[in-house]
């Protein structure tokens, strides 16, 4: 079984929240009630979009393991108005604290037609922003955010749109589709 979930902002990519005291945070169990499935990879709590879940360990490994280099495409709202020259380092690969990244496919895109984020991204009249489409073939912890920050473009909103041949199109936040 393979489940395509549109993970909302603020939801942990796990089924339990053992790390908090007081009020628990939202987890996958608030949205998916299918026993025996586990996430194939992770998506940060403050990121949204496609998260794949499966009950097949081999499929989970083929999706999540870096050696298979499944492309992951993100729609990223960044602070700033970058030129092609500003984006060039991302296309070549940048060196982060945990080493160099693989080159990414990066292009500016018009503002995508996405669902409203709750809470909304803070809008500032005096600071321009734009949207990028970034495709990676690796998946380090908070990699897209760290890469854009490295080139002076802080990430405001991050939506994973696709993993390999699967995408989140037509799936509302907090809902899922089984394949």
Q: Return the active site residues.
A: 44
Determine contact, residues 42/142, Cβ cutoff 8 Å.
Answer: no
Strands 105-109 and 129-136: antiparallel
Measured distance CA(73)–CA(144) in Å, rounded: 10
d(CA 29, CA 119): 21
| Alpha carbon distance, N-terminus to C-terminus of the chain | 7
- Give residue 43's Cα distance to chain centre: 5
């Amino acid at each position: 079984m393979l489940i395509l979930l549109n993970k909302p902002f603020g939801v942990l990519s796990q089924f339990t929240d053992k790390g908090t005291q007081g009020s628990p945070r939202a987890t996958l169990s608030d949205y998916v009630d299918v026993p025996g499935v586990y996430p194939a990879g992770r998506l940060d709590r403050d990121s949204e979009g496609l998260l794949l879940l499966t009950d097949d360990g081999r499929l989970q490994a083929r999706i999540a393991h870096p050696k298979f280099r499944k492309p992951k495409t993100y729609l990223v709202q960044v602070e700033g108005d970058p030129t092609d020259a500003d984006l060039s380092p991302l296309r070549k690969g940048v060196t982060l604290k945990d080493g160099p990244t693989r080159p990414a496919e990066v292009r500016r895109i018009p503002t995508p037609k996405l669902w409203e984020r709750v809470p909304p991204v803070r809008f500032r009249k005096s600071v321009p922003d734009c949207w990028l489409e970034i495709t990676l073939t690796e998946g380090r912890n908070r990699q897209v955010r760290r890469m854009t920050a490295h080139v002076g473009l802080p990430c405001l909103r991050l939506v994973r749109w696709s993993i390999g041949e699967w995408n989140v199109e037509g799936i509302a936040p907090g809902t899922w589709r089984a394949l």
